[in-house]
Amino acid sequence: MGKKIIVAGLGHGGIAAAALLSKSGYDVTVYEKKAEGTLGYDWTDIFAPDAFAIAGIPMPDESKYTFKEDMMFFGPSVTRGYRQHVERNNLEIKMERRDIYEHLIKHAVKCGVKIEYNCEVKAPLLLGGRVVGIKTEKGDFYADLIIDACGMNSPVRCNLPSALGIEKEIARNEKITIYRAFYNKASDEEVEDKFKVMICTGGKTGVTWVASEDDFTDILIGRFEDFDINEVNAFTDYLRQSNPTLGTQVVRGGQFVEIPTRQPLAMMVADGYAAIGDSAFMTVPIIGSGIANSLKAARMLSDAVNADKDDLFTAETLWKYQYSYYRRLGSGLAPLANAKLLLLKLTNEEIDYIFESGMITEDNITIGADFTSYAKIHLEPQELITKAKLVCSDTVLLKKIIACGLSMARTIGMCAVIPPRYDPVKCRNWAKMYLKSFK
């Protein structure tokens, strides 16, 4: 005990793991590029609250969160909608991002975690094949274990030697660009569907939500291609035609950001290194929620570290973390990356057909409060194929759906056979085969 652990970046999973490990007696320091008190975004997030308990973090004060409304899902033409019916005891919570950060940081500091703000991490430091530290703008820092919580474009992960087998760059179709802003309320008209989610509406591949709150409208525009503020303005004008309470003034947010929407990293660990959160692509591939998964992963990582009685922190001892992540969460998330790839291949007419033909039901679309896996959204590959065969007269669409169902089944199969123990050859081969499911 007393060994040094560095957390690169103050990501949600990283700070939660830091707290757990500090409590276990490790000397943990987090290096974060932003200034103290400036983390997060100017908007709210939705996530499953059970993640706090799993990560050993107390629930925030009740005044800090509300419960999420059921969502209404539409296809591109917004003709037929499907309402979720999430059980009341299974609801996700909605909380300001800054309050989430404040809560996590307060808890971590209480557990003994040290945080160095204003310190940009540039790259990993290596000795032989082992990660032994980080290069930062304030100098080099060494530790026995580096936890990478620097997000999707982590300079730690992106600068690891290829020989470690950890993917570095992310392809364009593996991330979604988001514009999010809260607009003023233009009228007091009663809104029927308070939380609308539209798939590929406005002729673009992606997701849009319009959430009508008491005093403002929360707009999220997500696309699998770059777009700019002119397009946002044109698109919000289009949305105003069917959402008269949506004003023209941005009252909060108004930023473009990116979220990974792909399968989790095929190799999350190396000697002296473990990735967590967006750096390990732990978001739900279609919608990009990643807070709860990152917090839950923190528990799995700390369990693996604590189980390493000799503090070796090798790929072998850290594999326990990757294994339990895949068993408990990754195996549910990864098939959704196949579903996302299908979405990218469908035309708007085909998506409308799926919505209008009865191929999906409200049950399918009832994304459970804990929207973390294909099981929770009741999207079994076999069911998908059978239903498509029953209702789909369009052979091109049918072929696409069957191909997706088969690749989902393959992914589920690959996740089921992840090696329980680390063997460099077996684990590399598994990673290669797993990644083939998304080609």
Task: Please select the residue that binds ligand FAD; options are 277, 285, 381, 405, rule is CB under 6 A.
Answer: 277
Smallest gap from Cβ 47 to ligand FAD, in A, equals 4
Q: Which two tokens stand for residue 120?
A: 């940009």
Smallest gap from Cβ 167 to ligand FAD, in A, equals 16
Smallest gap from Cβ 124 to ligand FAD, in A, equals 11
Contact segment (CB under 6 A) with ligand FAD among 6-14, 77-85, 336-344, 374-382 equals: 6-14
Task: Please select the residue that binds ligand FAD; options are 208, 283, 331, 373, rule is CB under 6 A.
Answer: 283
Q: What is the dihedral of CA 354, 357, 358, 362, to 10 degrees?
A: 50
Q: Residues 31 to 50: which contact ligand FAD by CB under 6 A?
A: 31-34, 39, 45-47
Smallest gap from Cβ 420 to ligand FAD, in A, equals 26
Task: Please select the residue that binds ligand FAD; options are 18, 28, 219, 259, rule is CB under 6 A.
Answer: 259
Smallest gap from Cβ 152 to ligand FAD, in A, equals 6
Return d(Cα 313, Cα 325) in angstroms, integer. 17
Contact segment (CB under 6 A) with ligand FAD among 163-171, 181-189, 288-296, 417-425 equals: 288-296
Q: Residues 155 to 214: which contact ligand FAD by CB under 6 A?
A: 155, 178, 180
Contact segment (CB under 6 A) with ligand FAD among 29-37, 140-148, 387-395, 426-434 equals: 29-37
Q: Report the residue number, 279 or 324, with the smaller CB distance to ligand FAD.
A: 279
Size of the site for ligand FAD (CB under 6 A): 33
Of the candidates 409, 335, 348, the one whose C-alpha atom is nearest the C-alpha of residue 377 is 335
Q: Report the residue number, 126 or 427, with the smaller CB distance to ligand FAD.
A: 126
Smallest gap from Cβ 221 to ligand FAD, in A, equals 10
Of the candidates 175, 254, 265, the one whose C-alpha atom is nearest the C-alpha of residue 218 is 254
Q: Report the residue number, 42 or 394, with the smaller CB distance to ligand FAD.
A: 42
Q: Report the residue number, 44 or 411, with the smaller CB distance to ligand FAD.
A: 44
Smallest gap from Cβ 181 to ligand FAD, in A, equals 10
Is 294 a binding residue for ligand FAD by CB under 6 A? The answer is: yes
Smallest gap from Cβ 33 to ligand FAD, in A, equals 4
Instruction: Annotate each residue in 87-106 with x if it binds ligand FAD (CB under 6 A) or - if it does not, as one string.
Output: --------------------
CB 325 within 8 A of CB 354: no
CB 274 within 8 A of CB 301: yes
Q: Residues 119 to 158: which contact ligand FAD by CB under 6 A?
A: 120-121, 149-151, 155
Smallest gap from Cβ 372 to ligand FAD, in A, equals 9
State the SS3 of the chain.
CCCEEEEECCCHHHHHHHHHHHHCCCEEEEECCCCCCCCCCCCEEEECCHHHHHCCCCCCCHHHEEECCCCEEECCCCCCEEECCCCHHHCCEEEEHHHHHHHHHHHHHHCCCEEECCCCEEEEEEECCEEEEEEECCEEEECCEEEECCCCCCHHHHCCCHHHCCCCCCCHHHEEEEEEEEEEECCCCCCCCCEEEEECHHHCCEEEEEEECCCEEEEEEEECCCCCHHHHHHHHHHHHHHCCCEEEEEEEEEEEEEEECCCCCCCCEECCEEECHHHHCCCCCCCCCCHHHHHHHHHHHHHHHHHCCCCCCCHHHHHHHHHHHHHHHHHHHHHHHHHHHHHHHCCHHHHHHHHHCCCCCHHHHCCCCCCCCCCCCCCCHHHHHHHHHHHCCCHHHHHHHHHHHHHHHHHHHHHHCCCCCCCHHHHHHHHHHHHHCCC
Q: Report the residue number, 152 or 239, with the smaller CB distance to ligand FAD.
A: 152
Q: Report the residue number, 261 or 366, with the smaller CB distance to ligand FAD.
A: 261
Q: Report the residue number, 156 or 385, with the smaller CB distance to ligand FAD.
A: 156
Binding footprint of ligand FAD on the chain (CB under 6 A): 9-13, 31-34, 39, 45-47, 120-121, 149-151, 155, 178, 180, 257, 259, 277-279, 283, 288-292, 294
